[in-house]
Chains A and B, each alone.
Chain A
Amino acid sequence: MQYFKVLLVFFLLCSASTGFAQTDANADNKRSLVVIVNPTVQQDSISTEDLRLLLLGDIRFWKGGGLVTLLIQAPVSWERDTVLGEVMKMSEPQYRQFWISKVFRTEAASGPKVVLSNEMAGILVSRIPGAIAFVDDAEVPPDAKVLKVDNILPGEEGYPLVFK
């Protein structure tokens, strides 16, 4: 019996520790979406609205010159889902349909390029002039140029691209 009580206590303790751990983990799951650009891009900051317009292909050139090359993660990635769902408020099919129509209506000379990982995004952003990509704050390449969003850097208070 004593053995069961010890086991029960141990179980409860384990369960409690697990629950606490889970609670801490959930608190840490808030991830920031960092906007990285090629260093040739002269802008340092972008507004949330301009970011949305850029994702919709309505902004094709950077302020100060240079063609925008939009890099976006492949489907089912967190970054892509977050960008589509939170920033653009679109589903995957809607987004695809939107871009295919835009390209076929010749309203856009180029479309978003699919990258397979944050690492690839970092590499391509560093090598393609005017490129922009959205990466997890944990995987921001060390030499990448990070844009402020609404003049707020990732990690600072009020950064708008913070999602679970």
Chain B
Amino acid sequence: MNIGGKLILIFVLVVAFSGANLSVYFWSKSKSNNAIEELRLATEVQIALGETQRGLNDLSKQNTIMGQFVSGTEDLALHPKDIERFDTQTNVVAESISRISSSVGSESSKELTALSSKYEALIKSWRRFYLYFGRDHTEALMELAINAEPLANEVMQIYLPALIQAEESRIKLARENYATTSALTNKLSTSVFLGSTLFLMLILIWFSRDLMSRLTGLQLGAEKIGAGDLDHRINDKSKDELHDLAESFNDMGGRLLEARDKLDEQYRIVNEQRQRSQHLLLNILPKSTADELVDNGKVAPQYYSSATVMFADIKGFTLSTEKLSVDKLVEVLNEYFTEFDKICDKYNVEKLKTIGDCYMAVSGVPSRNLSHCADMILAAMECIEITKQLSSREDYPDWEIRIGIHSGPVVAGVVGIKKFAFDIWGSTVNRAARLEASGEANNINISEESRSHVKDLFNLIPRGAIKTKDKQDVAMYFVDGLHSSLLDGRIPPRAGFEERYQVYFREDAQAFPASLENLSASK
């Protein structure tokens, strides 16, 4: 049954119980009215009986007293007005008896009939007594003694008491009926009222609890679905509007689940594509620069007061171009530079670009740090080592690399809107290129500025002032392993280097070249 049907049923029950209560009330009232009417009639009869008894008593007393008077003389004869007064008195009594007859119950009709007939005879006898009184004393007394007094005695001692007793029984019965009826109707009314109230209360409690629990279930279900628990289903087994609503919520949850799955798939695809794009972007830009470019659509140029720039050029590449096929050449070159890329990542060095067989990188950009020069030299050492390893391979060209490193201020940024690339500018870049050009194969040639950053970490061999391609005399140094103080054998070279690195730059070293470790041990 649907909710509307249930509400209508409850309404019908309320109306039915109200009707039952009203019916019981009216029935009770009718019964009470009947009992009250019966009681009223009985009371009226009692009053009329009292009046009759009093009137008869008065008349009887009056006549009894009169019987004690001597009435043998005419002057004692009753005046017609006295007779009229007597008639009035007897009529009053007769009216009382008449009132009794109209109100008396059928159970007292026999006594009433007897009383009425006797009273009529008594009135006639009394009337004769009055008529004889003062005229014929003998007849008067005879009438009084023979007829009137025995009749009065019968009426007052037998019939009237019998009627009074019958009416008392009747009034007692009426009282008992009234009490019984009142008690019964009160009990019935109370029972029906309490019963119907209790029943309706139970029905309403059941209905409201059922409704509230189901509404709560709907609310919780809607909240769960709204909170994202799209697998949640509202369980409502009834067949009403709330069930339909629950089914709608469940359908909505199902559709939302499908939509979310589709959205997740779309998101996964988009994310993959985004990650791919991000990866590509990170290949050409540093992460912070790529993020800035993504967020703002452009990258503001940044000034770095101190950074280290490295140029690494492959010696023997030109000769290899004549010996190797282009494909092989590119493949080998790619292998070298791939290894260099890995090394740069390892030492937090930012690869900038390759120009032919030249590999250009910068340290301290875009993330500023104090260890940029040391990091760059460690990376350069590892690049030389990997070059040596690769060159020793069969079918690989005998390549060496010449590395130039210089430290100084640079400006970094991205220029252009197509095929843009992260780059640095400044004299430091040119000086680094000059240092590379002035270096030797498998050696790291650094400037005076770079030396000042790492003079306590590495052993540096001064080369003196060397004239560069732009005709300037530049003090240069070759890096020759770790500083001699780190190789005194007290602690392992790596530990000593890392300790000093931490003291100098307030950070831990990114990595440490294995070849350098071996080299140090041999020394």
Contacts and interface: CB of A to CB of B under 8 A. Distances in A.
B135 to A, nearest CB: 14
A74 B71 CA distance: 10
Interface stretch (A1-9, A11-19, A106-114): A106-114
Sorting the interface of chain B by its residue count into under 10, 10 to 19, 20 to 34 or 35 or more gives 20 to 34
Contact of A114 (B60, B61, B69, B142): B69
A120 B153 contact: no
A81 B310 CA distance: 180
A127 interface: yes
Nearest to B66: A111
Interface stretch (B144-152, B228-236, B262-270): B144-152
B145 A120 contact: no
Given A103-B64, A106-B57, A116-B72, A129 B144 contact: no
A114 B67 contact: yes
B180 interface: no
A147 interface: no
Given A116-B137, A120-B138, A124-B142, A109 B67 contact: no
Contact of A74 (B57, B64, B70): B70
A73 to B, nearest CB: 10
A contact patch SS: mixed
B454 to A, nearest CB: 153
B67 A131 contact: no
A67 interface: yes
Interface string B46-73: 0000000000010011001101111010
Given A109-B152, A109-B156, A116-B70, A131 B64 contact: no
Given A123-B138, A124-B138, A131-B145, A113 B67 contact: yes
Given A114-B70, A116-B137, A127 B146 contact: yes
Contacts of A69: 145, 149
Nearest to B73: A116
Contacts of B377: none
Contacts of A104: 61
A112 B69 CA distance: 10
Interface string A105-142: 01011111111100010011001110100000000000
Nearest to B69: A114
Interface residues of A, number: 26
A109 B145 contact: no
B141 interface: yes
Interface in A33-66: none
Nearest to A115: B141
A128 B145 contact: yes
Nearest to A69: B145
Interface in A66-125: 67, 69, 71, 74, 96, 99-100, 103-104, 106, 108-116, 120, 123-124
B164 to A, nearest CB: 15
Most buried by B among A67, A69, A71: A69
Most B-side CB within 10 Å, residue of A69, A71, A110, A127: A110
A113 B57 contact: no
B72 A110 contact: no
A67 B142 contact: no
B61 A103 contact: yes
Nearest to B152: A109
A64 B234 CA distance: 105
B61 A110 contact: no
B157 interface: yes
Given A111-B64, A124-B138, A124-B141, A67 B149 contact: yes
Contacts of A103: 61, 64-65
Given A69-B145, A104-B61, A110 B138 contact: no
B61 A124 contact: no
B419 to A, nearest CB: 146
A110 B70 contact: no
21 contacts: A71-B141, A74-B70, A96-B68, A103-B61, A103-B64, A106-B57, A106-B61, A110-B144, A111-B67, A112-B67, A113-B67, A113-B68, A113-B141, A114-B67, A114-B68, A114-B137, A115-B141, A116-B70, A128-B141, A128-B142, A128-B145
Given A113-B145, A114-B69, 5 more contacts: A69-B145, A103-B64, A109-B60, A123-B138, A128-B142
Interface of B: 57, 60-61, 64-65, 67-70, 72, 137-138, 141-142, 144-146, 149-150, 152-153, 156-157
